Amino acid sequence: AAINGYSHQWRDKRFAAFKLLCMASADSPADYAEAHAMGWRTFRVKTAAAPILRGEVTCPASEEAGRKTVCADCKACGGTSAKARVSMVINAHGATRKRFQEA
């Protein structure tokens, strides 16, 4: 059964096995690079103006992608065991979006 999962614990070696089921939550291009170097796929939050990195696609459930699906149906965020091979990126939204505002 496919699942969707995310973790900010991806740097902790005790959580290494979770890369099969979970995405590394990345808050910056540096997080993206570090997580990929450790074998994780990522789910990265960015500002609307920030570029999409190589190997990323816009989350199809996001507003900016036109809400083409919902997470429960998409299931691309299932770590390295998901059919998807790319990492996901989404524009910051909701209550925490201010953390991602441009300087």
Query: Residue 41: its pLDDT value, please?
Result: 97
- Band the pLDDT of 3: cuts 50, 70, 90: confident
Q: Are 82 and 63 in contact (CB under 8 A)?
A: no
The proportion of the chain whose per-residue pLDDT surpasses 90, expressed as a percent, equals: 73
Indicate the pTM of the whole model: 0.87
Top-confidence residue, 2 or 37 = 37
Q: Positive or negative, the Cα torsion across 90, 5, 35, 76?
A: negative
Q: Are 41 and 25 in contact (CB under 8 A)?
A: no
